[in-house]
Amino acid sequence: MTRGDIGNYLGLTVETISRLLGRFQKLGVISVQGKYITINDLNGLIELTGTNKTKITLVE
């Protein structure tokens, strides 16, 4: 899924997605390597996004 795809899915611009990914990386909750995003701290990411943990589906 490209940043454009993520933006379209969430109703956000590519620029906003890039800023958010950068912010999440600086905070250490994710790592981005090329086209791969790794969640390093799921609880931290949940807290930052303000979502409910029961709404999350993990895909490996």
Give the model's pLDDT for residue 28: 97
Give the model's pLDDT for residue 29: 97
What is the rounded distance in angstroms from the CA atom of residue 42 to the CA atom of residue 48? Answer: 10
pLDDT tens column, 5-48: 999 999 999 999 999 999 999 999 999 998 899 999 999 998 99
Q: Which residue has the tokens 């996004």?
A: 49
Type of residue at 12: L
Domain-wise residue ranges, the chain = 3-55
First to last CA, the chain: 14
What is the rounded distance in angstroms from the CA atom of residue 38 to the CA atom of residue 30? Answer: 5
Q: Which residue has the tokens 């609880």?
A: 43
Q: Which of the four pLDDT bands, split at 50, 70 and 90, describes residue 59?
A: confident
Fold of 3-55: Arc Repressor Mutant, subunit A (1.10.10)
Give the sign of the dihedral formed by CA 13, CA 59, CA 39, CA 2.
negative
60 has pLDDT over 70 = no
- The pTM assigned to this predicted structure is 0.76
Type of residue at 46: I
